[in-house]
Amino acid sequence: MPSNKNNNQNPNHSCEPFRQSIRLSTLSFSIAAALVCQPVVAEVTQTDTSHMEEVIVWGAKVSSSSEFLGDEDISVKQADHLSDLLRDIPGVDVGGTHSVNQRINIRGFNETDLDIRLDGASQYANMFHHIGNLTLNPDIIKAVDIQVGANSVISGGLGGAVHFETKNAKDLLRPGEKYGARVFGGYASNDAQQGSTTVYGQLTDNIDAMLYGYMIKRGNFKDGEGNETIGAEGKVKNMLAKLGWEPTDNQRLELTYDRYRDKGDYSPRPDMSGGANNALSKTTLIPTQYDRDTVTLNHQYDHSEHFGIKTSLYRNTIDLERDESAIPGRWPGNRRSVNSAINTNTGARVTATTDMALGSIRNGFTYGVDYNQQESKSQYGSADELKEKGTTSAIFVQDKIQITDAFSVTPGIRYDHFKRDAFTSNQSFSDITWALAADYTLNDNVTFFASTRSLFKAPQLLESFIKYQEVAYLAEDIKAQTGLNTQGGVKLNYDIGMHSFASNITIFKTDLKDHLQTSYNGPKRQYDIHNNGDAEIKGFEASFFYGYDAFSSKLSYAKSDNENTTNNTPILDGNKRSTDMGDSINLSLDYPVYDLDLYLGWRSQFVLEEDNVMAGTAPKAAYNVHNLFAQWAPHQVDGLVMTFGIDNVFDSQYASHASRTGSARSIDLTDNEPGRSVKVSAAYQF
């Protein structure tokens, strides 16, 4: 079960009373419990509870430090892109519309500034500026844990962390089952079809296994104005195999192989609209394959409630291949061939927790080590392959000191070292960073929190696909980027009768010193990696929850403003476009119809215009988009779940502020989102 709506701040307010006291049929229970775990009044029978458990096992949960309002079940979204999962999280956006272009953004930081992991494996990569670095399938995700902003030494991400976890056989087996299977099929009217098959079982008393296969076929979607894009038609296939072994009751060893294949004749610049690609390269399409192979070995050992340790070993390989031999117009001559880039992360992470009393003070230690070796390879045609390597190592420790039952402080310290073995230079960077956090529980309803965390990021390797590594130079006076993220706020929750209220407000400021930038130097035909002054990002995230009986609602507001304080400009991306994003307002409404085994929901997002852009460039346009869904899980047909939804109900023309926007050579490059899409799907678990 997910945690309660206030992230377990009140230990007496748990999900168990909610499980036992409300008569929710099938998935209605799953979603309502995920949104708010509150005591109410009706009774539930044991039969109802069993049926609930059988249905909720497939739903994934998204939890975020910017909300503290509880986990959200995302199965109703019928997601086929990361944007379907994460865009309604305060402070988080996902840019891109193409399958090869998924870009997570937190407070204006892109994925190269975040600690992103899949089943413990680092997903860090910098593949190519026209595509994203993430190859993730939302359908098999079990949980997403998002840290909005850097607030702990446990993670090294400059702007926060996003950790994905996939399902295993234990998650899918229902009470009394030894084996099971699930089949799923879905259709979207804006040109997509998807399906999956999963088989799983308890092979012995302590060994379990799962095998999952998935495919989605996409066509060229139409945007809100009816314009059909080009170069989006292709297939994504994903195979996931897991083997779990529990030699004792308090430990688990899990081996995972995750195989992801994305193949199609795609546009040369998937981060731009079909119209932009047509203007720049006519209707030319590039045979493209974007693959990932991830192998992880995870071990978790809980010796007691006072000591536990988790270890992850992994190898994650991302491979991009494009046949660029027939592209017309402006294109580098040495790239008119079959070209490829490979990024491989090989690493290990060990994290342990120890709870102990030092005198009369309770201490909760979290400590560990983190190691990752990134290998980047680039090859054009039959030319020599270029190789680079970057090695990251870190050690960290923090201690949550429980001064009183109501007040705790958490100091932490971390040492990072980065060795950059690039084609033009071998250089190392290291630093000691620290964090200090405090929590004060005023009463059962109010908790105050604050934290500050120093930051560090070394100059990274050049993007893998462009073969400019031999002419990419660090500035002679380059420094690692440092900074300080400070945030604080309040969490509130209050229940009265059948009414439930909760909120979270976070105010933050991030100062960046010696901001790193990579720029193309046209006259010298080289890439320069250098510091570009100091910068700051400031803003807030606020979430408000209200529930009455079975009805639940959530309203959030997120605002961030950035500035390069040295140059008096916005912080710019590699395309010289502002990374600032407009204020985002999200509304969620949910209502289960118990007697019909039906769950209904509505999602709205309003994004305000962003005018913090470079002089002479257009602002990022405001937009609003609305989705609805209905999910039916009839108790008469055990294991059946049917879902109906409409994305972009009013067929709005819009582009995420985390996507490519603006113009170049008098061509509008804006990567507009798909227009209205009616989605239907059915799943049967047996």
Q: What is the pLDDT of residues 544-580, one digit of tens each?
A: 999 999 999 999 999 999 999 999 999 999 888 999 9
Q: Do 261 and 307 touch, CB atoms closer than 8 A?
A: no
> Which phi and psi (to 5°) does residue 180 adopt?
-165, 170
Examine the pLDDT at 206 and tell me if it is beyond 70. Answer: yes
What percentage of the chain carries pLDDT values higher than 90? 83
Give SS3 for 127: coil
Strands 115-118 and 160-166: parallel
Identify whether 588 is part of a domain.
yes
Examine the pLDDT at 19 and tell me if it is beyond 60. Answer: no
pLDDT at 326: 86
Mean pLDDT of 19-30: 33
Mean pLDDT of 460-473: 95
Query: Is 360 buried (19+), middle (13-18) or exposed (0-12) by CB count in 10 A?
Result: exposed
Identify whether 220 is part of a domain.
yes
Angle between helices 46-56 and 27-35 (to 10 degrees): 80
Residue 38: band (very low, low, confident or very high) from pLDDT cuts 50, 70, 90: very low
pLDDT at 63: 79
Mean pLDDT of the chain: 90
Kindly report, residue by residue over 138-169, the tens digit of the pLDDT: 999 998 999 999 999 999 999 999 999 999 99
Give SS3 for 169: helix
Examine the pLDDT at 173 and tell me if it is beyond 80. Answer: yes
Identify whether 156 is part of a domain.
yes
- Work out whether the CA dihedral 329, 330, 334, 339 comes out positive or negative: negative
Kindly report, residue by residue over 591-610, the tens digit of the pLDDT: 999 999 999 999 999 999 99
Kindly report, residue by residue over 209-268, the tens digit of the pLDDT: 999 999 999 999 999 999 999 999 999 999 999 999 999 999 999 999 999 999 999 999
- What is the DSSP secondary-structure string of 10-43? STTS-HHHHHHH----THHHHHHHHH-----S--
Q: Do 213 and 93 touch, CB atoms closer than 8 A?
A: no
Identify whether 595 is part of a domain.
yes
Q: Do 527 and 460 touch, CB atoms closer than 8 A?
A: no
Residue 53 host element (H or E):
helix 46-56
Tokens at residue 38, please? 């509150």
Residue 82 host element (H or E):
helix 82-86
pLDDT at 58: 65
The string over 159-194, giving b where at least 16 C-beta atoms fall within 10 Å of a residue's C-beta and e elsewhere, is bbbbbbbbbbbbbbbbeeeeebebebebbbebbbeb
Distance CA 13, CA 10 (A): 5
Give SS3 for 134: coil
Mean pLDDT of 178-205: 97
Identify whether 9 is part of a domain.
no
Kindly report, residue by residue over 304-333, the tens digit of the pLDDT: 999 999 999 999 999 999 999 988 777 777
Mean pLDDT of 93-108: 96
| Count of C-beta atoms within a 10 Å radius of residue 576 | 12
Distance CA 386, CA 18 (A): 58
pLDDT at 59: 64
What percentage of the chain carries pLDDT values higher than 70? 90
Distance CA 505, CA 78 (A): 29
Examine the pLDDT at 187 and tell me if it is beyond 60. Answer: yes
DSSP state of 9: S
Specify the CATH number for the domain of residue 148. 2.40.170.20
Query: Domains in the chain: how many in total?
Result: 1
Residue 2: band (very low, low, confident or very high) from pLDDT cuts 50, 70, 90: very low
Identify whether 439 is part of a domain.
yes
Distance CA 570, CA 614 (A): 7
- Work out whether the CA dihedral 125, 106, 272, 330 comes out positive or negative: negative
pLDDT at 28: 36
Distance CA 179, CA 263 (A): 33
Domain boundaries, position 329: 15-685
Return the minimum-mean-pLDDT range out of 9-18, 340-349, 452-461, 675-684.
9-18
Per the DSSP assignment, residues forming a β-bridge with 364 are 355, 400
pLDDT at 574: 81
Examine the pLDDT at 287 and tell me if it is beyond 60. Answer: yes
Long-range contacts made by residues 279-283, C-beta under 8 angstroms, separation at least 24?
Answer: 279/667, 280/329, 280/330, 280/665, 280/667, 281/327, 281/328, 281/329, 281/331, 282/328, 282/329, 283/230
Q: Do 620 and 610 touch, CB atoms closer than 8 A?
A: yes
pLDDT at 420: 98
pLDDT at 282: 87
End-to-end CA distance of the chain: 21
pLDDT at 370: 99
Mean pLDDT of 117-125: 98
Identify whether 553 is part of a domain.
yes
Q: Do 383 and 471 touch, CB atoms closer than 8 A?
A: no
Position 9: which residue type? Q
Kindly report, residue by residue over 476-523, the tens digit of the pLDDT: 999 999 999 999 999 999 999 999 999 999 999 999 999 999 999 999
Distance CA 299, CA 312 (A): 7
Examine the pLDDT at 390 and tell me if it is beyond 80. Answer: yes
pLDDT at 72: 53
Query: Is 4 buried (19+), middle (13-18) or exposed (0-12) by CB count in 10 A?
Result: buried
| Count of C-beta atoms within a 10 Å radius of residue 451 | 22
Identify whether 5 is part of a domain.
no
